[in-house]
Amino acid sequence: MDEVDRAFAVWPRAGFLPSEVRDRAAYDGPLEIGAGQTSSQPRTVADMLRLLDVRPGQHVLDVGSGSGWTTALLAHLAGPTGRVRGVEVVDALVGLGRGHLDRTGQPWASIEPAVPGVLGLPEHAPYDRILVSAMATQLPDALRAQLADDGVLVVPVGGVMLRVTRDEVTEHGYYRFVPLV
């Protein structure tokens, strides 16, 4: 069992879903969490986390934190010496995600509302890792600029999962997500 599998075991998706879909938590597909948003397919989340390769002590940004599940998983991977900041554009989901995250007892992680017209949380940059759980139409330079010199950004762009560093962009399969706003 690798670290991503351990994080999934500690923080199963069911605890981050609305009660009406919780019985479908094991379904390997997206599930509605409200406001037209979804909790991503578990296999996709696992793929993204493995590409991101979060290490203990890292500063991580979770763009599109939704229900708080990915933020909790990232916090588990970064550990108490790390810092994880989730950001969410849908106001109703900020409260939902915060409530779920608070119950995990990981005070080194938080969820903040997005600032209109601003992608990410540039005031807290640089980040060692950035995860984006929504589909961009083009590589978001604003997020790439928030990376530390040796940082990694994982983002779906135009249906293709990209792993991005300051010097390189690699492709890692085809995926579907809600649009990045």
Phi-psi region of 117 (alpha: psi -120 to 50; beta: other; left: phi over 0): left
User: Is 40 part of the annotated catalytic residue set?
Assistant: yes
Residue 93 CA to chain centroid, in angstroms? Answer: 14
Q: Residue 91: how many CB atoms within 10 A of its CB?
A: 11
Quote the DSSP letter at residue 24: G
Do residues 77 and 47 lie in contact, with contact meaning Cβ atoms separated by under 8 Å? no
The CB-side HSE value for 33 (13 A sphere, CA atoms) comes to: 29
Do residues 161 and 136 lie in contact, with contact meaning Cβ atoms separated by under 8 Å? no
**Phi, psi dihedral angles at 118 (to 5 degrees):** -120, 130
Q: Which of 39, 40, 67, 110 is catalytic?
A: 40
Residue 132 CA to chain centroid, in angstroms? Answer: 6
* Active-site residue list: 40
